[in-house]
Amino acid sequence: MNTPLGAIVSSNESIEDFFLNQFGSILDQLQQSSTEVKECFDSLVKHYTETQIVLYSGKKERELKKELKFKLETHQINYQGNEEDTLLDLLLESDSFRLGERLHWILENPRHKEILQWGSKIANVYRSNLIISIASEKSSHVLKSLKNYLISDDLNNSDQSKIDITNEIETILTLYYYNINHRVNVQKHFLSNRKCKGNRDNLNLILVNLLNNALYAISFEGIIEIFVEDEGPWIKVSFVDYGSGIPKNIQDRIFEPFFTTKSKGEGVGLGLDICRKVTYKMNGKIEFESEVGKTRFTVYLLADE
């Protein structure tokens, strides 16, 4: 539950900061700008109102930068060193790389960097709004599943369907946009495209808890690996962190209800108990292995053949 609510709080703070500390400055600079600069900026804003902003990170972001670099060279738009990296970041953050020919028109303007910087700040508001929308829906589902857990030993397993696990993981990573962007390198190894059968909301309880624990283990800075693999009738979903590891003297207690190693106010010790309970309900199993510097949690889910 902390994750969706945390995403809402972070996104709301980002929107508030924009209107309190950035919006006025953008308006002042626009008023003093030429008609062409205003038209370039207007084309960006129109783009945001007509299309949905996409969140990019990790491998996808690196692939896009490589593609954009090639396109810039093709159009003989050349920058050196940090200038090129800065422009590539702006093209992604402002979502302007999807403008097509209008982008070249903006890049020809001597003040294109300023225009893209303004656009990045506007685009960030739209991203925050998207995250709030996703997180609000996810919070509703998490509360529903948690309620079922608290009032019964028998988690609700109705509304079963075929679940695209990798798609669910990508959606959850979206909620962590402000927590992982540029600080956490999430390495995804999606080696299976099979689907499992179960209750999507309950599965998300597992994924959210395991990701949150992995991020907490590395203090929200470092590397996390996520694996989705086939093993016979199973789909193996693993979260690997490179934190301090789980001390051996408490490893046999981590699935106990209300047992937690987190600081007061940061956890109540139900996460892994919920993970185990939901996994068993889906006829699966959950395992972990931990040593100093590395911990792996693996959930085994039956594939829907």
Q: Where in the chain is the domain with CATH 3.30.565.10?
A: 152-302
Q: What is the mean pLDDT of residues 267-292?
A: 86
Distance of CA 56 to the CA centre of its chain: 9
Q: Measure the CA–CA gap between 186 and 173, rounded to whole angstroms.
A: 9
- End-to-end Cα distance, the chain: 32
For residue 274, pLDDT over 70 is answered with yes
Which comes out higher in pLDDT, residue 293 or 176? Answer: 293
| Helix, strand, coil shares, percent, the chain, to 5 | 55, 15, 25
For residue 278, pLDDT over 70 is answered with yes
pLDDT digits (tens, 9 = 90+) for 240-272: 999 999 999 998 888 887 767 666 545 556 778
pLDDT digits (tens, 9 = 90+) for 128-177: 888 888 878 777 666 655 555 554 445 555 567 899 999 999 888 887 77
Which comes out higher in pLDDT, residue 211 or 181? Answer: 211
pLDDT for residue 130: 84
Band of pLDDT at residue 191, cut at 50, 70 and 90: very high
> Under a CB-based contact definition with an 8 Å cutoff, are residues 234 and 301 in contact?
yes
> What is 152-302's CATH number?
3.30.565.10
Burial 206-243 (b: 16+ CB within 10 A, else e): bbbbbbbbbbbbbeeeeebbbbbeeeeebbbbbbbbeb
For residue 111, pLDDT over 70 is answered with yes
> Under a CB-based contact definition with an 8 Å cutoff, are residues 187 and 242 in contact?
no
Q: Measure the CA–CA gap between 127 and 52, rounded to whole angstroms.
A: 9
pLDDT for residue 264: 55
| Number of residues that make up the chain | 305
> Under a CB-based contact definition with an 8 Å cutoff, are residues 65 and 57 in contact?
no
Residue 243: CB partners within 8 Å, gap ≥ 6? 214, 217, 218, 219, 222, 293, 295
> In terms of DSSP bridges, do strands 196-199 and 160-163 run parallel, antiparallel, or are they unpaired?
antiparallel
pLDDT for residue 146: 57
pLDDT digits (tens, 9 = 90+) for 46-81: 998 888 777 666 667 778 888 888 777 766 666 666
CA atoms within 13 A on the CB side of 215: 23
pLDDT for residue 151: 42
Which comes out higher in pLDDT, residue 198 or 33? Answer: 33
pLDDT digits (tens, 9 = 90+) for 3-49: 677 778 888 888 999 999 999 999 999 999 999 999 999 999 999 88
pLDDT for residue 66: 82
Q: Measure the CA–CA gap between 36 and 72, rounded to whole angstroms.
A: 22
Nearest CA to 270 out of 173, 205, 203 is that of 205
Nearest CA to 133 out of 94, 98, 174, 165 is that of 174
| 64 φ/ψ angles, rounded to the nearest 5 degrees | -65, -40
227: its two tokens: 């694996």
At how many degrees (to 10) do helices 112-151 and 35-50 cross? 20
Which strands form 294-302's sheet, in the order they lie side by side? 184-190, 222-231, 234-241, 294-302, 285-291
For residue 188, pLDDT over 70 is answered with yes
At how many degrees (to 10) do helices 200-217 and 112-151 cross? 120
Cβ neighbours around 205 below 10 Å, total = 23
Which comes out higher in pLDDT, residue 71 or 102? Answer: 102
pLDDT for residue 294: 95
Which comes out higher in pLDDT, residue 110 or 305? Answer: 110
Band of pLDDT at residue 214, cut at 50, 70 and 90: very high
Nearest CA to 30 out of 43, 17, 39, 19 is that of 39
Helix (H, G, I), strand (E, B) or coil at 192: coil
> For all residues of the chain together, what is the average pLDDT?
84
